Amino acid sequence: MGRILYLECYSGISGDMTVAALLDLGADAGVLKKALASLPVHGFEIEISRVKKAGLDVCDFSVKLDAQHENHDHDMEYLHGHSHGHHYENHYDVHVHTHEHRGLPEILKIIEVAEISAGAKKTAEKIFHILAQAEAKAHGVPIDQVHFHEVGAVDSIVDIVAVAVCLDNLGITEVAVPFVCEGKGTVRCQHGVLPVPVPAVMNIVEAHQIPVRMTEVEGELVTPTGAAIVAAIRTTSELPAQFTISKIGMGAGKRNYERPSLLRAMLIEEKATDKNRKLAGEAAAQDWIYKLETNVDDCTGEALGYVMDRLMDAGARDVHFTPVYMKKNRPAYLLTVICDEEKVKELEQILFEETTTIGIRRIKMERTVLEREHMEITLGEEKIKVKKCILPDGRVRLYPEYESAVRVAKKKGMPLQEVIWRSMQQKEEG
């Protein structure tokens, strides 16, 4: 894993906050302006400026609508229930207005003809699909009947396309969002008083399993657009065990609550992993793994053999059983699974499904790993797969792969131990 975008949503997240934070990280404002100018959407201008939030100098991104499209502050109008309809930040509405409406196909057509990269188009389309699905569920209508109110759609299209363009410009493919902070209470709109989080946000965090941390702030911190952005671009909820920060960007929000309305974004690089230590040429590396353990005394041997196969097929690094005696002198097995962090939940699910256990111990462990690579050597006319390992002092050891050695031993009529010994004496081919 290389460079990662870490979004710290301590004060929630919205579309304009995200754009501002990415610009502050170094996204090219000129590239963004050119991309937005290619949109077949009129009646808006963007403004990029520096503002103060809690005494901090942060970037602000604003979409300014012309007189024909002006509806003041879109987010705040939704909160206070002005007379333009049921607006969220993205201003979806399934009711009839005097304004023109755009459905999802029209929005996707706008994105399709925009002069932006294929990657940016894919991200923008994904965000709008997530928003449409959330609104369709909230209003109980098919997704093709969800319409975007023209006034709200302008700033939403700009915000979402801007996020996609900035991410693409920064070359970001990995995004970590451990959680989003949300407020409490209620907000008022034309359809009445709604609880926070609003329905669209709730539908998004439910569908995409976004961790939410509730706060004592009275008001909405996470907008539907912000939630959809997280759902679309997040690749993990876990931060690396160790990382360095290469750059920090802060984007301003428009609302004023007890905590400063800003989104902090960081470009981080994972450290002390087997991968980057190897790239740096170090023979021994430190990284982190997880050990899952559970005691079982009422599973059959067939069931345990099957669960081992399932665990290995699902990506466990290793699985083994240790005979133990439990209470009342019952013979049992300690089932141990070694795995990477991203596999923990999946493998725990298999353990619960395939064994009788009702609890699993989970231990995060640091380990030292030798640099290794897989290669082939020649033994007579036969090829044998071996693992080449480099010791901390630079010496090299070769370990033949068992199945490969067995194949050669059978074919040549040699003892397996002789094949293994002779393989370990060979040098790397070529």
pLDDT per residue rounded down to tens, the chain (430 residues): 458 999 999 999 999 999 999 999 999 999 999 999 999 988 899 999 999 998 999 999 999 987 555 544 444 333 333 333 333 333 333 233 334 457 888 899 999 999 999 999 999 999 999 999 998 998 888 888 887 553 347 888 999 999 999 999 999 989 999 999 999 999 886 567 889 999 999 999 999 999 999 999 999 999 999 999 999 999 998 888 788 999 999 999 998 888 899 999 999 998 755 444 444 445 566 678 999 999 999 999 999 999 999 999 999 999 999 999 998 889 999 999 999 988 999 999 999 999 999 999 999 998 888 888 888 888 888 889 998 898 888 888 888 899 999 999 999 899 999 998 888 887 544 3
Amino acid in the structure at residue 393: D
In sequence order, what are the residues at sequence separation of 6 or more whose Cβ sits closer than 8 angstroms to the Cβ of residue 270?
1, 2, 4, 240, 242, 243, 276
3-state secondary structure of 89: coil
Topology given in CATH for the domain delimited by 371-425: Ubiquitin-like (UB roll) (3.10.20)
Domain boundaries, the chain: 3-270, 286-368, 371-425
pTM: 0.62
Instruction: Return the CATH number of the domain spanning residue range 286-368.
Output: 3.30.70.1380
